[in-house]
Structure 1
């Protein structure tokens, strides 16, 4: 397909990749994917417009051309997410080229990507959540690190926290109280209850931790005493997941979904769960749960004043 692109277009495509490599530090795999996406786009335009795409032709792309390309991608069965990624690469290239060549890129840049729903991590069954925590406890041979890992995972699941919120706890939060005041997205504060099992797990970690957990420093520490990284927590969960044969969707964030689902399954009030999770809308909370529709509606009807 690249044979349909003029030498000048191939040259500027190469120059764009060099630009991304030098200024943005893009990985080689990423650059290769971008190159394929833009090459495929220009090859389609060459066939669509009946001739190789030179720089002047690229500068004259119209809204109708973009619609034809999107329609072609749909007919080929390309997933909406992949089309959105390709369009993003095309826009980046056209934006850079328009600044270099001085043409109006509005027709390309105003093209909207197809909508797609980002998949949410699937919640764990109650038994699987317990087994995961047990498996986490044997992932490290150093006792205090094993206790730390169990404490982190138990707090994420038992309080429904985002990983950034859990790792944002400080020495001042230990021992954990019966409820925590959490500052979430957008600086919005909420109060979440702390289960006894989470308090006990943190107590065991604090007793074993070799570092001085001062009030204004992170509660959960790395092996050298610095703050614990989200990547390390994700790795611990991944190893435990593989040991148990759980799906790849079993991540630290999936524990938050599990918290919401298990509360709702137990008859929890949907709006109360919304508050515990710190969601702005009830629809977001519903998306986080995996109970069947009948159970959801029964719980909602029971909780809603008009359903009584």
Structure 2
């Protein structure tokens, strides 16, 4: 996963807030890994998931100050050397793809969404959140929120192998939720939020598929030196499997309960990312029709 050394990065699409305090009401986030991470964190850290969604139970905010990404992340060569600049590069590529895709299909113009990097806790348009909830998309302010410490947790707590493309998969998944919000798909969930055949699971699997679609077309965005390798894609598949509802439940409670699923099984997550990657076509990501 090598960026073109001379490609210009647009750091304005990513904001680094550093450490932050908590304020405001409870979080109400649509989509993302938030539900599954909250469940796992409750078991691993011994806290109430409801507290996580209201900012409680998170580690203290990191006192590190926010950084000026515009000064640090100027070229693709910077993205190959820095985690934060890599996020900028991935975000730029993902949004370039969706801008082009919306234009080609005659849809209303794609509206960019900023990614917010934080440490410890953050206040969002959806309320307050601690780092334990993992990466998430807030429809209210159309922003993606990521504590970079999550990527370490993905390996240490969830058993994923990790790697740069595992990180890219997570980011692309969250931008999939932004696309769903823009075109109105998110509204289809309503109160159907749990169960193996629920609208929530279908929404999450579609975001996985959209992540695969971006991966297939990423070389055309101009940010990468070459198409992704099989090893890159394997990192994404491994990460997708690691956060499947069934694997999380098995690790957390020793049994699998499909009635409690919100994101889909490991097999389903791998299947739909693969569908997106093989076809490269958003239209093939219709998880709301037929079986999963």
TM-score category of the 2 structures, normalised to the smaller one: under 0.3
Taking structure 2 as the reference length, the TM-score comes to 0.26
**Structure with the larger RCO, 1 or 2 (CA within 8 Å, 6+ apart):** 2
What TM-score, normalized by structure 1, do the two folds share?
A: 0.25
Select the structure that is richer in strand.
Answer: 2
